[in-house]
Every structure is written in structure tokens, then in C-alpha cells.
Amino acid sequence: MNPQNPRLDLYDPKTLKALSQAFDSSWLMLQSCDPFRDFESDTELKTTLSLKLMALAADGVTDPVELQEWALEGLLLN
């Protein structure tokens, strides 16, 4: 997901808010699916989720619900 023309509004307050909402809701979903995982120290999963969300936003996805759905794809199977 490397855009040819990166979005200039990636760091727009509205986009950042959508990314934050998507991260928080995705993180809660991941926690509910794997209650025995140590999420506090799982920096690899946090980084993976963050990178997926940023790539999606760079590709033009800015709706928090869509961001969450696309970002969780594949992560819930691990």
C-alpha cells in the first residue's frame, strides 16, 4: 500500500482524529479477541496496527470505521 502520490492532508486534524479513533477501537477489538495476550507490552502489534492505519490513510481511507475494518483484516487471524 505505497501510494504513488501521498496525501497532503495525512496530518490534517480530522484525519489524525479518525486515525486515533480507529486505533483505539481496533485495539479494543484485538483485546476482546485475545484476552490472555499481554497487550501492554506488545509493541510489535501496536506498531503493526499503526503502520496499517497510516498506510490506509495515505491511500485515502479516512473514515474511522473503514480504517478499523481494513486494519483488522489479517490481524484477528494471528
pTM, whole model, 2 decimals?
Answer: 0.82
Contact 67, 18 (CB under 8 A): yes
State the pLDDT at residue 57: 93
The confidence score (pLDDT) of residue 78 equals 52
Is the model's pLDDT at 2 over the cut of 60? no
Segments making up each domain of the chain, as ranges = 43-78
Confidence of residue 7 (pLDDT cuts 50, 70, 90): low
If you count them, how many residues does the chain have? 78
Please write the tens of the pLDDT for every residue from 9-59: 778 899 999 999 999 999 999 999 988 889 889 999 999 999 999 999 999
Q: Rounded distance, CA 71 to CA 62, Å?
A: 12
